[in-house]
Amino acid sequence: MTATARETVLSRVRDALALSPGPETVVPRAYRTGRRLPDTERLALFVDRLVDYRTQVHTCTASETAAVVAEVLHAHGARKIGVPPGLDPAWLAAYDGTVLTDSADIPAPQLDLLDGVVTASTVSCAETGTIFLDAAAPDQGRRALTLVPDLHLCVIDLSSVQTGVPEAVARLRPTHPLTLISGPSATSDIELERVEGVHGPRTLEVVIRTDA
Amino acid sequence: MNSPADRAPNSTFVGMPTVPPRSPYGAGNLRGERAFPKAAHDELANEQLRRNLGRATHSIRAKRLAVTGELPDWEQLRDAGSAIKTDTMNRLPELLEQLERKVIEHGGTVHWARDGIEANEIVTRLVKGTGSDEVLKVKSMATQEIGLNEYLESQGITAYETDLAELIVQLAHDRPSHILVPAIHRNRDEIRDIFLQEIPGVDPGLDAVPAQLAAAARAYLREKFMTAKVAVSGANFGIAETGTLSVVESEGNGRMCLTVPETLITVMGIEKVLPRFQDLEVFLQLLPRSSTGERMNPYTSLWTGVTPGDGPQDFHLVLLDNGRTAALADAIGRAALNCIRCSACLNVCPVYERTGGHAYGSTYPGPIGAVLTPQLAGMHGAKDDPNSSLPYASSLCGACFDACPVKIDIPSLLVELRHQHTEQSGTTAEKLAMKAAATVMQRPKLFTAAQKAAGLGRLLAGRDGTISHLPPPFRGWSDSRDTPAPPRQSFRSWFASAEGAEAMRAAAAEGVRHPDDGIQETP
């Protein structure tokens, strides 16, 4: 009987390790973990990093959310937006355009007709300016929703912003579909000149709620 | 599949281990057609290429230094990254089995491929099974390595590259020249011409402005993203603990491919597995900073099997060997498998900077490519195997080792490969010369005499103090560079002279007067 590819590859790996056993290794984790920064410092760091990626940042209190969201959408002329089914409807109370609630059976090309999308987020990392979206969370929506429209407005509670990458990764649910966003879609493939927006949203707007 | 090497003993056989085979000769893109010096000679004549490369490598280098310098624990992250990879290699069988189990648990299917030929056949069978005759591709080193696009084409399936640079390379019927920025050898005017010629219905008034060119690519690919049924990706990491796979990118083409099509096929080298989800906290810091010099790349996607109602409902993971186990069996060379394909070593390499990626003839160019390529595909596939020239495609300056986020000692690996090459290639002029040098250096008297004789080299030198033509076997060296004439006096004889002693005394006194000169505090 001939061996399957699986058996062959695994036996080759075992042979290789028998022929040249590697050094016994303990992973040193002396890098920084468990960092905590006061709200003002974390906010300042996060905003600095977001702006560096040419993300547009707005800060407000939780009670001002609806006004700021409406203002940002208006500024972009967004008349028709999509939202995940679990998004807090109060955030859109001041928006006068059309709101489409997403569901799994809406085909991607239809999302292409939207002017933008509004979502929440799961956690963020201040040091790298990264926003983590969990597609299994009802207020963040499936992955296509935050990908196809050209404008993504993300509402972030400051309390969910972690200092560094280890602190943020520790808060994820690993088996959910996760998307890490650091600024808008970008490319530097032509003579290393940065161009915003190739295939993902070309505009990323972030609203940070400082008391939430 | 048909080669005898694949009929290896099965996993239950307990006996003498055998050395696993390398990637098969003549398949895929792990071997160029010409030896490095010949290919490099032609590439060096391309001034445009050198200008583009010079600008690109310098700019990425500066950015990388700035963002790695920002992290006070950068060295600790490198230590952790290096140890995690070493630990991974030691535990590869159990980790691969765990990864397989977890992917299946979450609704995915796992396939194993002994070599590139087998991987190509698996992908083709899966694509044909969907009834589609086209696939979208996310930039992937592994599928480039195995020549998947060409194979699919031979089977009547069209593969569309969706990364902007890969698209440029594909439309130009060219090959990538850099791991990270594959079209770095092209400038905007060339790219405009390629687009005008190759993209159907493109605006004839297209300007050679990067933003306009990117917009043209967006418009061209948007329809494909919305209608394609199948996508093929690589993977930056595969997490054994959870079965989670990851693609790190910038443009969103990765997100499109991983999200919109019904079927997703991911081809991953077996060395890309990581033990724990937590390990991402290390590599998500090391990779973007080393690669593009960014604190984080714009987009990273993580997915585990299939998620009902979100993304592809049919997910296949192809685990690829293709010479990786042969590299693993080499006590020294296995360190090259730790590579996370960040390209930091390319950007600091003085040789790469001048020759560009094509001269290496492999999917993996630059310093790490010079190590990894012979490891995966061997150096003696044929007489004058181009791969046997790769270990010499380095000045051994050590910049690549300093830049490597997982601390791969590339210069030492190159020296080891040179040793293996000379051991295997029998008596050559270089080997005799090196043997003579070793004999002389072991005997102080002979060494002193040889140094005196080397002073005679000054007679060979012209007025500018350089030697432009050396006799064989050193002609290969002097053909592409001038050799400084040996000094009038050896260091040892100068040190022993009155002049030397005086200079040393003066230097010592100077050092006492300015104890801190030239010493910079490092944070």
- Per-residue confidence in pLDDT tens, chain A, 212 aa: 578 999 999 999 999 999 999 888 999 999 999 999 999 999 999 999 999 999 999 999 999 999 999 999 999 999 999 999 999 999 999 999 999 999 999 999 999 999 999 999 999 999 999 999 999 999 999 999 999 999 999 999 999 999 999 999 999 999 999 999 999 998 888 888 888 878 999 999 999 999 99
B319–A189 CB contact, under 8 Å: no
| pLDDT of res. A178 | 98
Locate B275 and state its tokens: 């033990």
A17–B90 CB contact, under 8 Å: yes
| pLDDT of res. B480 | 61
Do B346 and B178 form a contact (C-beta atoms < 8 A)?
yes
Question: Out of B72, B256, B307, whose CB is closest to A199?
Answer: B256
Residues of B in contact with A49 (CB under 8 A): 295
Q: DSSP E strands: which ranges in chain A?
A: 56-60, 80-83, 98-101, 116-119, 123-125, 130-134, 151-157, 161-162, 178-181, 186-187, 195-196, 203-209
Q: How far is B502 from chain A (nearest CA, A)?
A: 48
Mutate to test the interface with B, among A110, A125, A188 (most CBs of B within 10 A): A188
Asked if B19 has any chain A CB less than 8 Å from its own CB, the reply is yes
- H or E element, residue A147: none
Do A145 and A136 form a contact (C-beta atoms < 8 A)?
no
Locate B131 and state its tokens: 């009834």
CA-to-CA dists, residue A172 to A36, A135, B98, angstroms: 17, 11, 21
A188–B250 CB contact, under 8 Å: yes
Report the pLDDT averaged over residues B296-324: 97
**Chain B, window 265-294: residues with a beta carbon less than 8 angstroms from a chain A beta carbon:** 270, 277-278, 280-282, 284-285, 292, 294
CA-to-CA dists, residue B476 to A3, B351, B431, B496, angstroms: 48, 16, 14, 35
Residues of B in contact with A27 (CB under 8 A): 80, 83-84, 87
Question: B151 or B51, which is more confident?
Answer: B151
Calpha distance A5→B319 (Å, rounded): 10
CB pairs under 8 A between A and B: 293
Report the pLDDT averaged over residues B46-57: 87
B299–A4 CB contact, under 8 Å: no
Name the pTM for this structure.
0.87
How large a percentage of chain A has pLDDT more than 70?
100
**Chain B, window 209-238: residues with a beta carbon less than 8 angstroms from a chain A beta carbon:** 210-211, 213-214, 217-218, 221-222, 225-227
Residues of B in contact with A176 (CB under 8 A): 304, 307
CA-to-CA dists, residue B137 to B197, B229, B253, B433, angstroms: 21, 12, 9, 49
Q: How would you classify the pairing of strands A151-157 and A203-209?
A: parallel
Calpha distance B509→B505 (Å, rounded): 6
Instruction: Tell me what the pLDDT averaged over chain B comes to.
Output: 87
Do B28 and B322 form a contact (C-beta atoms < 8 A)?
yes
Calpha distance A157→B30 (Å, rounded): 49
- H or E element, residue B412: helix B410-424
DSSP conformation class of B310: B
Residues of B in contact with A175 (CB under 8 A): 106, 242-244, 304-305
ipTM tops the 0.95 cut: yes
| pLDDT of res. B493 | 74
| pLDDT of res. B382 | 73
Question: Out of A16, A49, A135, whose CB is closest to B329?
Answer: A16
B303–A177 CB contact, under 8 Å: yes
Q: How far is A63 from chain B (nearest CA, A)?
A: 30
Asked if B120 has any chain A CB less than 8 Å from its own CB, the reply is no
Instruction: Write out pLDDT tens, residues B418-471.
Output: 998 888 776 565 666 666 666 666 676 776 776 666 665 565 566 666 666 666
A5–B188 CB contact, under 8 Å: no
With H, G, I as helix, E, B as strand and everything else as coil, classify residue B511.
Answer: helix
Question: Out of A4, A136, A169, whose CB is closest to B278?
Answer: A169
Report the chain B residue with the minimal C-alpha distance to residue A183: B298
Closest CA to B134 of B229, B226, B265, B256: B229
Calpha distance B355→B370 (Å, rounded): 13
Edge-to-edge order in the sheet of strand A116-119: A56-60, A203-209, A151-157, A116-119, A80-83, A98-101
With H, G, I as helix, E, B as strand and everything else as coil, classify residue B4.
Answer: helix
Report the pLDDT averaged over residues B309-337: 95
Residues of B in contact with A52 (CB under 8 A): 295
| pLDDT of res. B362 | 95
Calpha distance B500→B493 (Å, rounded): 9
A189–B221 CB contact, under 8 Å: no
A25–B252 CB contact, under 8 Å: no
Question: B5 or B412, which is more confident?
Answer: B412
Instruction: Write out pLDDT tens, residues B161-211.
Output: 999 999 999 999 999 888 888 998 888 999 999 999 999 989 999 999 999
Residues of A in contact with B119 (CB under 8 A): none
Locate A86 and state its tokens: 């679990």
A19–B329 CB contact, under 8 Å: yes
DSSP conformation letters of A69-87: HHHHHHHTT--EEEE-TTS
Residues of A in contact with B80 (CB under 8 A): 27-31
Mutate to test the interface with B, among A187, A194, A203 (most CBs of B within 10 A): A187
Mutate to test the interface with B, among A112, A191, A203, A204 (most CBs of B within 10 A): A191
Mutate to test the interface with A, among B117, B192, B250, B262 (most CBs of A within 10 A): B250
Asked if B313 has any chain A CB less than 8 Å from its own CB, the reply is no
